[in-house]
Amino acid sequence: MPKKALVTGACGFTGSHMLELLADEGWDVVATDLEGAERDAYYTEAEGDVPNPVYYRDIFEEVGAEFIPADITKQSTLYPVFEDHDYDVVFHIASLFDYFAEWDVLHKVNIEGGRNIGEVAAEHDVGHFVHWSTLGVLGDAGFDEPNKEDAPYEPHNRYCKSKVKQEEVLHELHEEEDLPLSIVRPAPIYGPRHGYGVYHILLLLRKFGFAPVTRIYPRSKQLMFPCVHVHDLVNGALFVHENKEETVGETYHVLSDCIGQDELIEFLAESLGVKKKRIPASFGAYKLYGRIAKWASHRIERQAREKGTRPKVDASMTHYLTHNMWFSNQKIKNLGYDFKYRDARKGLWDYITWCKEKGMV
Amino acid sequence: MLVSPFDVPAVALIGFVGAFVYARFLKPRNPDWYPFIGVGTVGLFWIHAVLAVAGVSPLGVDVDNSLIGVAYILSYPMWFRWASERAFVLFGRGSEQGGIAWVLRVRDTTEGFEPDWEKE
């Protein structure tokens, strides 16, 4: 008899890939998400506060999954999802991933929504609860060693703060209600159908028409960039579930080996066919330019809010370019997980090809 | 100076404006417009220099023959290229690009990208 999984946020970017993977692996899958019309209404209500909705309406039909609509912000709508189903695992992906969103919307969806589904899952004794967090709950790693899973929380924007609170809420449920919780913390995700976050770096370079490759000196102050291909992420989450005897109560970083920012930008420039401009800079000068860029991007964001629109690139994204977001993936590797795209450049090459075919870059 | 101290600023200005006009309007019609503008501009200034040396400058420019003057005249293409590169960085290299100005503006006036398989 096939194992049974519930995927929340199933019509989103990551959720749709999770559905496809589970269907390929022969799982019995239940998909849940907001119903199309409800989602449209929600995004209209939250005008200007959310990115263009990513909603793959037909994905559950394509993979043959049962779809039960629910809204995680309304706990009563979650009970029908759990009734008459005995889940081996819940992959809780549903979240509002938006650096531009206001705190009350993030609180409602990510924190209260996380609590709602965690409580219902605990009540129904699910076999395993794999929760999607983000590496953004941690901060700048410094230059000695990458941040590991036990590093202290240091969120840099409202979205990441909401993910910290979400982790805390679910940890409480793990300790008090025996929710069999595992947490995966993905780096910024990319892959087919992706259009927010890593995509904005590609868009920025293509719209600039040139790529500033900043070589920071001394080289020991090199800044790193974390990212993960959605294929590695969903397979990593499934791997965490398959090893649940060891992974319950644990947190895992899921990302390719971090790459230097100058190497990354150089690679992207070559792949996108934009002109490279190598700029050697002292660390102090780079930090100064970074602060100016950050100030300018926050100013543009404020102007955009005043005009009732949103900036082309959310201001918080500049944080990844001015801080050393260096993270270790050793813990999940030690467990035996083998990344397909251990070198991010291989995954990014595939993704850029997809973007080019779709006319996105 | 062999011809005029205003030649280089004039070539640079034409290079800057020409690059902007090329990227925004001319490139979609024919990508060869950039070399046309460059060769045309530098060619005109060089022809004028030759006429000035021959003493028949239509602008009545007097010439002062010197080695530095020759180097000055030969540097016109470099200044054209230098100024147009500044324009490309600021405003982009095509109608689908916006350069640094793209991120500074709230409104996006650039065109979208074509899917790769639809390109010629």
Mean residue pLDDT across chain B: 90
- CB A165 within 8 Å of CB A153: no
| pLDDT tens digits, one per residue of A65-113 | 999 999 999 999 999 999 999 999 999 999 998 888 889 999 999 999 9
Q: What is the pLDDT of residues A34-58, one digit of tens each?
A: 987 676 666 655 555 445 556 777 8
Domain with CATH 3.40.50.720 in chain A: 4-193+226-258+325-341
The pLDDT value recorded for residue A55 is 75
Phi (first) and psi of residue A135, to 5 degrees? -65, -20
| B79 and A326 Cβ atoms separated by less than 8 Å | no
Q: Is A204 on the interface with B (CB under 8 A)?
A: yes
Contacts A275 to B, Cβ<8 Å: 93
Q: Are A233 and A355 in contact (CB under 8 A)?
A: no
For the domain spanning A4-193+226-258+325-341, the CATH number is 3.40.50.720
Distance CA A78, CA A122 (A): 12
Q: What is the dihedral of CA B86, A200, A253, A28, to 10 degrees?
A: -160
**Of residues A214, A31, A240, A40, the one with CA closest to residue A131:** A240
A189: enclosing H helix or E strand? strand A189-190
Which residues of chain A from 221 to 280 reach within 8 Å of chain B, CB to CB?
275
Reported as a single tens digit per residue, the pLDDT across A53-74 is 567 778 888 899 999 999 999 9
Q: How far apart are CA A272 and CA A289, in angstroms?
A: 25
B119 and A CB contact within 8 Å:
no
Q: Which chain A positions have a beta carbon within 8 Å of B84's beta carbon?
A: none
From the CA of A179, how many Å to the nearest CA of chain B?
45
Task: Give the chain B residue nearest A210 (alpha carbons).
Answer: B89
A207, A296, A359 ranked by CB distance to B115: nearest: A359
Nearest Cα of chain A lies from the Cα of B76 at a distance, in angstroms, of 23
Optimal mutation site among B102, B109, B114, B119, interface A, most CBs of chain A within 10 A: B102
Q: Which residues of B touch A269 (CB under 8 A)?
A: none
A197, pLDDT greater than 90:
no
| Angle, helix A261-272 to helix A198-208, in steps of 10 degrees | 60
Cα(A344)–Cα(A346) distance, rounded to whole angstroms?
Answer: 5
Closest chain B residue to the Cα of A201, Cα to Cα: B103
pLDDT at A314: 87
Residue A296 has pLDDT above 80, yes or no: yes
Per-residue pLDDT, A247: 98
Average pLDDT over residues B51-74: 86
User: Taking CB atoms and an 8 Å cutoff, what residues of chain A touch B118?
Assistant: 359
- Say if the ipTM goes beyond 0.95: no
Q: What residue type is assigned to position B43 of the chain?
A: G
pLDDT for the residue numbered A150: 97
User: What values do phi and psi take at A262, rounded to 5?
Assistant: -70, -40
What phi, psi does A316 have (nearest 5°)? -65, -20
Q: How is residue B61 written in tokens? A: 């420019």
Q: Which of A275, A300, A358 has the CB atom closest to B104's CB atom?
A: A300
Contacts of A84 (CB under 8 A, 6+ apart): none
pLDDT at B60: 84
pLDDT given for residue A222 in this prediction: 93
Return the bridge partners of A189, or none.
A228
Given a cut of 60, is residue B120 above it in pLDDT? Answer: no
- Answer yes or no: are the C-beta atoms of A16 and A233 closer than 8 Å: no
Check if the beta carbon of residue A4 is closer than 8 Å to that of residue A124: no
Task: Spell out which residues of chain B touch residue A307, defining contact as CB-CB under 8 Å.
Answer: 106
Condensed to tens digits (0 to 9), the pLDDT of residues A134-182 reads 999 999 999 999 999 999 999 999 999 999 999 999 999 999 999 999 9
* Sole residue written with tokens 């001015």: A322
- Judged by CB atoms closer than 8 Å, whether chains meet at B116 and A208 is answered as no
The confidence score (pLDDT) of residue B105 equals 81
* Cα separation, A125 vs A120, whole angstroms: 9
- How near does any CA of chain B get to the CA of A209, in Å? 5
Are B106 and A300 inside 8 Å of each other by CB?
Answer: yes
Query: Three-state SS for A329?
Result: coil
Distance, CA of A328 to CA of A256 (rounded, Å): 9
Q: Name the residue among B88, B108, B117 with its Cβ closest to that of A209.
A: B88
Inform me whether the C-beta atom of residue B31 falls under 8 Å from chain A C-beta atoms. no
> How many Cβ atoms are within 10 Å of B35's Cβ, its own excluded?
10
- Nearest chain B residue to A277 by CA: give it: B89
Assess A295–B contact: CB distance below 8 Å, yes or no: no
pLDDT for residue A27: 97
CA-CA distances (angstroms) from residue B7 to A233, A345, B3, B59? 59, 47, 8, 12
Between B88, B94, B103, which is nearest A313 by CB?
B103
- Asked if A90 and A130 touch (Cβ cutoff 8 Å), the reply is yes
Contact call for residues A189 and A228 (beta carbons, < 8 A): yes
Q: What percent of chain A has pLDDT over 70?
A: 95
Closest Cβ opposite residue A209 in set B92, B108, B115: B92
**Residue A314: CA count within 13 A, CB half-sphere:** 22
CA distance A208 to A358: 19
Residue type, A328: S
Average pLDDT for residues A312-321, to the nearest whole number? 85
More confident residue, B74 or B118: B74
Q: What is the 3-state secondary structure (H, E, C) of A180-212?
A: CEEEEEECCEECCCCCCCHHHHHHHHHHHCEEE
User: A341 phi and psi, to 5 degrees?
Assistant: -110, 65
Mean pLDDT of B104-111: 84
Rounded mean pLDDT, B3-20: 93
Pairing of strands A4-8, A89-92: parallel
For the ranges A96-100, A233-237, B91-95, which has the lowest average pLDDT? Answer: A96-100
**A237-274 per-position pLDDT tens digit:** 999 999 999 999 999 999 999 999 999 999 999 999 99
As a whole number, mean pLDDT of residues A339-350 equals: 97
Which of A207, A352, A356, A360 best probes binding to B when mutated, by most B CB atoms within 10 angstroms?
A: A207
Distance CA A39, CA A41 (A): 5
